[in-house]
Structure 1
């Protein structure tokens, strides 16, 4: 079935023209207001202005679809769709993540056990390719090879200028249950029950994620969309959401506050800036208690080495930054957490179960991030530093995590630092297919290849 056409977007046409005006040997980089990457990159000498590509083009509340520009943030998108009682099937947890970024660089959230990953709700995309053309690709059309290789390509195959996505209806409120789990196996059994039945203990579950606070203290949060009015909690002020997961057994939020429950404190990472100290929190303007502000503060630290200098002055071991999200099969989660506790020792760890929606395009339908259809995975997210001493620049902890995740049959997201050799990288992320698609749409090699981008930092 063909999809309704949309009017050409002048901003997209202008970006493509600006791309074609660049010298053939000029590196290509999008100029973006925000970023959620945590890996070093070579300084850009030329950037393409994307300021005109940050909006919602159209919402069809009957068909439950939205046409969205690639640089539109989920905060902007959700504000527009909630006005119609709709949201994207998966809304990544940070407000400043863009739709194009979540598709090209992956995204995940608590609806991923039910709805897969953000790119699985994309119906079609307009992609600016390395040859300077704008190509409209769909799951089964002429450019299906680009459509299926695009997720996890990080701009190495082109840039999404417009995406048409599915939407789903939501009521105004979310009822939460925080279920205590004795260990990872206990949590996994609950996750598999939800995956198989859509329920837990007889109640419907619309979304699920969890937090591993300690080896014997894991909490699974089960969310149910509801119309029932009642008192709701507010974690945008003095209260901190992640603490409530450990302190409460039930809760209620508005749907909007639920979607952004992690953003106010960047999960728990705002503590590094003192933003969870009650006195500091009262003085810290609410408009600055958000993930993109904290990200800029981290960027300043990395640029000037503030923490490294303070550690050196105090005689403390040099610290390695360990900021990663990994997916492991659910039945190996216990193995991973046991190893992680022994070898890394960071807590809390965010846990987010997922299953691919697409079971119609082979066992591994998304070539560049080949998770197996029909398998339950759990994303483990951990973000902080580990004292390792003078070996810190060689990233021994990050390298060990990569090896362990590979051993357990999982994958690692590439938004942060990666250290794979070429052969391992190509085996994990289907390098031969990436190369073939790149040859078709970027025969001149204008765009930086994925390995060069995410491992070599080019």
Structure 2
């Protein structure tokens, strides 16, 4: 039997030595894949390779936890936990997301109405600080300030080497029910579903006045099991089915096959191209590579200009207090026009569990709106016109947005939304030499 703890300690020692030996200058994580949708300015950075820290170390199904290294993908983490009859309490939608990335950023899914965001499910984080020291932080030890300050820090306070996350018992099948609702009833029914015994709750806005609310329950077996990993497309099924059954693993990755619905931008939902690509290429890994290629060569922008159009990419996830959700959806229809929109309810902040860089303190229930596309106009607008409109409306509605994509906040608005007073205290304590970048510089200025 392998000594997983000993192997982990050796990998940690190597990572710490690598960082201590790094030359002076800005740090960056050397990742082979990334689920960030904001490009950073090119410049001299020392890139830290933590790729070897990608192992599931231990799990205790009875106690409800799993230990995994920071670069472990959720694809591998889910496979390991399902084999023991459990799943991470919150499993982000895409297989290539790492547990360390979800902790340093924000991770959400259809269990979030009960369990919160990924960082709400963590019990312990082992962190490699920018100076090369390694500390283990938990909610009640000497490094509790770093435990609560780590989420939404995006590597600017250090890197997660190991995390202990809560797990939930599972059954083999998820029984889904899809209800088509008008706008007047949708958010009330969403809140009611969150108060029910459902194991999963999410929804999709397909058009003004057309929403689908989906609830899922674990069951030991289903009357059938649908397959959305090849020719059939999950998001389309929501408009034609009232009931469905998926194997638990297939349910957790129901959005990965088509990157929600964004694969349509590459033509990958056309039956012939789908067959040519084959099952193995229908996943977020493939679309991410295509997206990076397009970003590098600006193919979509060039095509739009050739057609006399101006194109702005809008890739956003925002969390809005439930009471403001109808007004925010009306704003999206009126000013933005991107459809479909993913809807995912999120539990608000619990007493004693304040994460200062990503606070959900204004309501017991938030609604996540996910919308990802490009908007084309016939005349040029100010740079980031639509993204700035969204940010202003999010602030007006007491919400907060994820920082995995482009942001355009002023420094003052950013400081107010993302707890920069707390962040500066953490930065002085855990990165006094400022080896890692500043959060505003990284996420807004992109340097």
Normalization by structure 2: what TM-score?
A: 0.96
SS in 1 for 2:211: strand
Q: CA RMSD in A?
A: 1.5
Which residue does the alignment assign to 2:194?
A: 195
The 3-state SS of whatever aligns with 2:312 is strand
Q: CA deviation at 1:340?
A: 1.1
Offset of 1:357 from its aligned partner?
6.2
| Matching residue of 1:289 | 282
Q: CA deviation at 1:66?
A: 1.2
1:109 paired to 2:109: yes
Q: Which residue number corresponds to residue 366 of structure 1?
A: 355
CA distance in 2: counterparts of 1:88 and 1:251, whole angstroms: 23
| DSSP 3-state at the match of 1:211 | strand
Deviations 1:293-333 (A, max 9, x none): 10111111111011111122222x11100000001111111
- State how many pairs are aligned: 442
Q: How does 1:347-386 map to 2 (within 5 A)?
A: 347-356=339-348, 358-361=350-353, 365-372=354-361, 375-386=364-375
- Once the two structures are overlaid, the 10-residue window that deviates more, 328-337 or 377-386, is 328-337
Is 1:337 aligned with 2:307? no
2:319 aligns with one of 327, 335, 359: 327
Q: Is contact 1:39–1:415 with CA below 8 Å preserved after alignment?
A: yes
Give the superposition deviation at 1:6. Answer: 5.3
Aligned match of 2:208:
215
Please name the residue that 2:81 is paired with: 81
Give the drift of 1:447: 0.5
Q: Give the Cα–Cα distance (whole angstroms) in 1 for the partners of residues 263 and 58 of structure 2.
A: 35
CA distance in 1, matches of 2:178, 2:351: 31
- Distance change >3 Å, CA 283–CA 355, structure 1 → 2: same
2:428 matched residue in structure 1 = 439
Secondary structure of residue in 1 paired with 2:427: helix
Q: Deviations over 1:82-118 (max 9, x none)?
A: 0001000000010000000111101100000011111
In structure 2, stretches of 5+ residues that fail to align are none
Q: Which shows bigger deviation, 372-381 or 275-284?
A: 372-381
Whole-angstrom CA distance in 2 between matches of 1:449 and 1:73: 26
Match of 1:404 among 384, 390, 393: 393
> Does the C-alpha gap of structure 1 residues 229 and 249 become closer, same or farther in structure 2, counting only changes over 3 Å?
closer
Alpha-carbon offset, residue 230 of structure 1: 2.8
Q: Is the 8 A contact 1:322 1:397 kept in 2?
A: yes
Partner of 1:264: 257
Aligned match of 2:220 in 194, 207, 227?
Answer: 227
CA contact (8 A) 1:320 1:392 kept: no
**Mapped partners of 2:167, 2:181: distance in 1:** 33
1:427 aligns with 2:416: yes
Pair 1:246-2:267 in alignment: no
Task: Tell me the CA shift for residue 445 of structure 1.
Answer: 0.4
* C-alpha distance in 1 between matches for 2:222 and 2:270: 32
Give, in angstroms, the shift of residue 406 of structure 1.
0.5
The C-alpha deviation readout for 1:112-166, integer Å capped at 9, x for no partner, is 0011111111111110112210010001110011000111110111100000111
State how far apart, in whole Å, the 2-side matches of 1:44 and 1:240 are: 41
1:322 and 1:373 mapped to 2: Cα distance? 26
**What is the correspondence of 1:54-93 to structure 2 with a 5 Å cutoff?**
54-93=54-93
For the 8 Å contact 2:194–2:201, the answer to whether it is kept is: no
Instruction: Name 2:297's counterpart in structure 1.
Output: 304
Q: CA deviation at 1:42?
A: 2.3
Q: CA deviation at 1:64?
A: 2.5
Any runs of at least 4 consecutive aligned residues in structure 1 with deviations exceeding 3 A, and if so which? 5-8, 388-393
Cα pair distance change 1:172/1:33, threshold 3 Å: same
Segment drifting more, 10-19 vs 411-420: 10-19
Is the Cα–Cα contact under 8 Å of residues 201 and 214 in structure 2 kept in the other structure? yes
TM-score by length of 1: 0.94
| SS of equivalent residue, structure 1 residue 107 | coil
How far has the Cα of 1:391 moved from its partner?
3.8
* SS in structure 1 at match of 2:53: coil
SS in 2 for 1:167: strand
Counterpart CA distance in 1 for 2:29 and 2:207 is 40
- Taking the aligned partners of 1:421 and 1:237, their CA distance within structure 2 comes to 44
